[in-house]
Amino acid sequence: MIDLDGTLVHTAPEIAAAANLMLADLGRAPLPYSQVESYIGEGAIALIKRCLTRQINVEPDAELFEQAETLFFAHYANNAAESKPYDGVIDGLKALWNKGYRLACVTNKPEEFTLPLLKKAGLADFFEIVVSGDTLHKKKPDPIQLHHICAKFDVPEYEAMLVGDSATDIAAAQAAGCFIVTVPYGYNQGRPIDVSQVDATISDLTELTGILI
């Protein structure tokens, strides 16, 4: 199971552009790219709220949020599929595919953006299952997405692995009882990965086959 934003695809430039267009429509000052990037990882709703409040876990005015949500999704629909895979992603996925591993993409991004992005990036055909942020009633860090994928593959959680880039991925994998492997790039709210919490770290996806048995 592999995360999307920050693991497979570098989506922050397009997300930041859409967020700042949203803020401009609301008459608000733009945010630095690095600040928007630090807000990525727990889905679009959390991102929009953080852009409005410029804080983590603070609720904006409900009417303002509703307006902002509509604006953000409208702008993001125009550029979401333009994001590019990280170096090593396609080669890493090909290597896993050639060795017969069954692959799923699991993301907090809504399906309407996930599927076109995977297709345009040339990644869609690698994944038997794609679970987006709105596929189920909860998403990472809740383990429900990972349980769902394991059930679909008929694989016990202790034989499954999640590859991700953030504390959100680590929490989801640990709650599900899966192995967790992380990449050092990506989005973890501006903090380095706590390597003591993971089973392994890799520089990019081409290293995955080397740690799998």
Measured distance between the N- and C-terminal CA atoms of the chain, rounded to whole angstroms:
16
Place of tokens 């076109």: 116
Q: Is 5 a catalytic residue?
A: no
Catalytic residue among 3, 5, 165, 169: 3
Q: Which residues are catalytic?
A: 3
